[in-house]
Amino acid sequence: MRLLVTGREGQVAQALLALASNEVEVVALGRPVLDITDRASVDRAIAEHRPDVVVNAAAYTAVDKAESEEDAAFAVNGEGAGNVAASAAAAGLPVIHVSTDYVFAGDKAEPYREDDETGPQGAYGRSKLEGERQVAAANPDHAILRTAWVYGPFGANFLKTMLRLSETRDEVRVVADQRGTPTYAPDIAEAIVAVARALRREPDSRALRGVFHMVSGGETTWAGFAEAVFERLAAGGGKTVRVVPITTADYPTPARRPANSRLDTSRFTSAFGHTMPAWTDGVSRCVALLAKTPF
């Protein structure tokens, strides 16, 4: 099976590249070779590489910057996602699109289900929701995977920031009134491969098409996430760092973060028979890996 992945440098794309094997070939392309805001560029990439499944992992992910660059966010996350889906449809291929918890307002008391009302509170969330709409409209053979709090050994992310801070600080202040699920990029990559195989295996199954929530098991706060990182670091002989819980109001940002980023994954697990590992398991693996290399 050959996957064409858009967005070579992103965390998910890098994790997919790391999974490449004799059974799964991964071609990951980013700008300038593949620019998803240019439909012709996507068409050329598909024609050249002849994939079995197209994975759209390219995204504008600067959540705060999107507040002042909404057009740029929509160009990539909205129109760009639509281009990828349309090109895949023209080639008769399924598309897997990576989306986010930011499509919700974050004010629900329980974990969000796929059929809950959306209501993004910022430009980034609005652009990602528009991308979902364009993907669904352009290609009925789609799986839209909403995930959250992505981290891993590649790129910039919360876990790596905490590890860097541990080198110079004994205490870190972290928001404790936002709840969600840290989700390890390599686990996302393995799940995407499972979805791709299922889409190919059952090309006519409507149960495998649509929107799915795909995050690790369990939940925590950003402060709890940080505590888990430092606990794993200390257990491996690293420095002990204290986490001081603060409120969202204590750490203002241009873009509003969802207070509740929890996603109900029961539909995903039922459809694909794939269970994501616990978030704590991913943290342990990631800290163990990064402790051997510079953060």
Cα distance between residue 58 and residue 127, in whole Å: 13
| CA-angle at 126, arms to 120 and 132, nearest 5° | 105
Closest CA to 257 of 124, 84, 96, 72: 124
103 Cβ partners below 8 Å, 6+ apart?
Answer: 118, 120, 125, 128, 129, 132, 146
Task: Quote the CA–CA distance of 239 and 168 in Å, as a whole number.
Answer: 10
Residue 163 identity (one-letter amino acid): L
For the chain, helix (H) and strand (E) counts, in that order, are: 10, 12
Burial of 72 (0-12, 13-18, 19+ CB in 10 A): middle
Q: Cβ atoms within 10 A of the Cβ of 47, count?
A: 11
Q: How far apart are CA 242 and CA 282, in angstroms?
A: 21
The amino acid occupying position 24 is V
Q: How far is CA 206 from each of CA 1, 142, 216, rounded to the nearest angstrom?
A: 21, 10, 24
**Closest listed residue to residue 254, CA positions, set 68, 60, 61, 59:** 68
| Alpha carbons within 13 A on the beta-carbon side of 269 | 11
Catalytic residues: 124
